[in-house]
Homo-oligomer: A and B are copies of this chain.
Amino acid sequence: MAELYAVRMDVALPPDLDPAARADLLAREKAYSQEWQRSGHWKSIRRCVGEYANLSIFEVEGNAQLHEILWGLPLLAYTTITVTPLAQHPSDIAAG
């Protein structure tokens, strides 16, 4: 049984972060995100225009797996996370 969640991530990196440390963090964040995207659990990630933020959709087994994925984000210490659990909408044409 797959559960859906919308997750908004707002990132605040300190401007004086060491450039190499910063590049390393961003590379690891990208790799981590893409690994979960390929698994099918991180269904989409989109940039919020003009903000260091993304809106993502996750499809996971449930609360525990979602927490595990988010907890492992390399940028977690710099990220504010907002989780919205989702369910099928009665107007969804896919609802049959």
Q: How far, in angstroms, from A44 to B4 measured CA to CA in the complex?
A: 13
- Contact status A89-B49, CB under 8 Å: no
Within 8 A of B (CB), among A1-53: 1, 3-7, 13-15, 29-30, 33-34, 37-38, 44-51
Q: A residues touching B (Cβ–Cβ < 8 Å)?
A: 1, 3-7, 13-15, 29-30, 33-34, 37-38, 44-51, 54-55, 61-64, 66-67, 70-71, 77-78, 81-93
| Known contacts A49-B67, A83-B50, A84-B48; is-contact A92 B1 (Cβ 8 Å) | no
Q: How far, in angstroms, from A47 to B66 measured CA to CA in the complex?
A: 12
One of B44, B49, B82 near A83 (C-beta < 8 A): B49
